[in-house]
Amino acid sequence: MGLDPGYGRMGFGVIYVEGTKMSLVDYGVSTTTSGDAFENRLLSLANDLGDLFAHHQPSAVAIEKLFFGKSSTTAMNVAHARGVALLMAAQAGCPVFEFTPAQVKKAVTGDGNAGKAAMQRMVKELLNLPKPPKPDDAADALAIAITASTKRW
């Protein structure tokens, strides 16, 4: 399972890997309401992730490392959501693998500076999908899962 952390939308992507073959199992986003108290938004994410872990029972979780952009407030809030995801993975007994955005781009497209469109095209190709997955958060989560599946641990 790949997770693209966020507190407004957290992307998730579940793939099945057997040898060198990958197939799509599920993907989407967990969303929270902007007017809700922040702690309730985190609780909502935890509940959604708990349901996903119970339903899919992933053997591992891959999550994007936090990238600090221009807003430190946003980064801190994303860090809180990321902490919820790490906690839920630990409670589910899943090993966690972390990747930077550049590592994910490099693993999926061969270019550590690839754009969103290139990433989505490669996720589509690698998972044999009829069209690129949407929204971006879910596509990113699938790319993170693909990255973990290509690493030899």
pLDDT of residue 152: 53
Catalytic status, residue 140: no
Catalytic status, residue 4: yes
How far apart, in whole angstroms, are the C-alpha atoms of residue 119 and residue 142? 10
φ/ψ of residue 116, rounded to 5: -60, -45
Catalytic status, residue 137: yes
Give bridge partners of residue 96 from the DSSP assignment: 61
Sheet containing strand 2-4, edge to edge, reads 21-31, 9-18, 2-4, 61-64, 96-99
* Lookup: tokens for 81: 């959501």
**What would the mean pLDDT of 30-51 be, rounded to a whole number?**
97
Q: Which member of 18, 39, 51, 64 is catalytic?
A: 64
How far apart, in whole angstroms, are the C-alpha atoms of residue 70 and residue 68? 7
CATH number for the domain including 50? 3.30.420.10
Strands (E), 37-90: 61-64
pLDDT of residue 150: 85
pLDDT of residue 69: 65
Domain extent, residue 97, equals 2-150
Q: For the chain, what percent of residues have pLDDT higher than 70?
A: 96
Chain mean pLDDT for the chain: 93
pLDDT of residue 68: 66
How far apart, in whole angstroms, are the C-alpha atoms of residue 103 and residue 83? 21
The per-residue pLDDT for range 63-118, each reduced to its tens digit, is 999 876 666 778 899 999 999 999 999 999 999 999 999 999 999 999 999 999 99
Q: Which member of 36, 39, 136, 137 is catalytic?
A: 137
**What would the mean pLDDT of 129-148 be, rounded to a whole number?**
96
The total of structural domains in the chain comes to 1
Per-residue pLDDT band at 32 (split at 50, 70, 90): very high
Q: Is the pTM here over 0.85, yes or no?
A: yes
